Amino acid sequence: MKKAIVLLLALMLVGAIFAEDSKVTYSVSGDGWVKWGYNLETNNHGFNNGYDLEADISLGTIAASKAGAEGETVYGKVSLSALDINLSVDAQDTAPAFDTPDTTISASIVAGPLTVGVYTAASLTQNNASHFAPYQDDDGDWDGASDMGVYPTAYRKGSLKATYSLGTMGSVYGTIASLGDWAAGGLVNDNYAVAAGASLTPVSMLTVALGGFYDLEWSDMGFTTKVTVKPVDGVSAFVALDGFMPDGGDLAMDAAVNVAATFGKTTIGADVWYADGTANSTHAASPSSRVWTYDGRLDAKVSIADTGTVENLAASVALYAIDVMADPAHDPMLIGVADSISYKIALSDTTYVTPYQKAVYDLGVADDNLYLSVGANAMLFANTLFTVDYTMNKKNNLSFPGAWAGYADPVFSIKAKVSF
């Protein structure tokens, strides 16, 4: 079904381009890249590829006079992301086949302030109290995947989502999703979850986000909230909280606090993250079962970043303290320092070279305690970015510092990324 829809949308898009009076509008953007790497420890080497594509296609509009409300239009819209069409030949019958493994497609009906998703896999995940981790970039140097958030059952069969815009006041939404459908066998039938939420800005300096879900099958529930204030220009703060309560279990939660102030092109910030409880469903058969256990863990960070006080120079430094409430206390204390620096050298109005360095020094471990990445980005012609990089002790764990995980072998890589 997904393959047929992708091909149909591609044909519609081509037709829209050539139609004289077409009411189909579209926008397409994305990038693709190839990266060659050499593991200096194992001597393994090879290529890796990646891509990203975003496309919005509006499938015509109904005139305002036919839409009911004066000046209001009603139209259908289809959105695609991570579109990758591969033509392959099956080894058994040599029949060509199209493969779109990661494509996400959603279709919606838009009527003024109301948007109803009719073909979508609406996410019920809510995660406002996210953990701070150094260098979250496109290549995922740091994952932060141990965040609790609120992750209900992975409902993936179908969902219906309605969003209503309140203009400058914000928006509200409601979602119902099912894991299975009416077909016998396969995925779980009659298994629904509901979610609702809102993002409200009653005054310009205050934004409040609220959300919650309830799993009708397993009686698991969760909630999330985030309050952001911007009392004056250049100063902001937020408090966020995520909670999860399985049926018959205790409440588990994580909370985050951030304060930041910008002076010119320099930003000083402080973060605190707290987690307590065990967030996993008590139902072993539940697809949402996941273990997330912390016992009063408190992490903290202070940072300073500058993005141009010296022209074309960007730099940052941060100090991390992890699990500062541990009993007995960590010895040595889990302390880490992170820094980054880059300088953009213009070759012309559109081309440049940017050497960079970023590092994390972990004072909480005895060895392998330096993460280092050095290299350069180069835009040598339009839409194409080249990167040469050397990385040692790359890690993938929010428990930094003091709990390294991932791979530590040094890697030299060359990457070409084309965007459009």
DSSP 182-203: SSSSSSPSS-EEEEEEEEEEEE
The SS3 of residue 105 is strand
* 146: amino acid identity, one letter: S
C-beta separation of 277 from 294 below 8 A: yes
Among 191, 169, 75, 189, CA closest to 124: 191
Task: Give the separation between CA 58 and CA 28, rounded to whole angstroms.
Answer: 12
Question: What predicted TM-score, i.e. pTM, was given to this entire model?
Answer: 0.79
Higher-confidence position of 303 and 98 = 303
Write down the pLDDT at residue 302. 97
Cα dist from 123 to 115, 155, 174, 293, whole Å: 16, 8, 11, 23
Contacts of 164 (CB under 8 A, 6+ apart): 113, 114, 115, 171, 172, 173
pLDDT confidence tier of residue 346, bands split at 50, 70 and 90: very high
- Strand-pairing partners, residue 381, are 384
The contacts found for 72-75 with CB under 8 angstroms, 24 or more apart, are 72/111, 72/112, 73/110, 73/112, 74/109, 74/110, 74/111, 74/112, 75/109, 75/110
Domain regions of the chain by residue span: 1-30+52-107
* Range with the poorest average pLDDT among 16-25, 221-230, 241-250, 350-359: 16-25
Write down the pLDDT at residue 413. 92
**95-148 tens-digit pLDDT:** 444 445 556 677 888 888 999 988 777 777 778 888 887 765 545 444 444 455
Say how many CA atoms lie within 13 Å of 372 toward its Cβ. Answer: 8
* Range with the poorest average pLDDT among 26-35, 221-230, 284-293: 284-293
Higher-confidence position of 184 and 116 = 116
Q: ∠ at Cα 416 (414, 417), nearest 5°?
A: 140
Please give the mean pLDDT across all residues of the chain.
78
The SS3 of residue 5 is helix
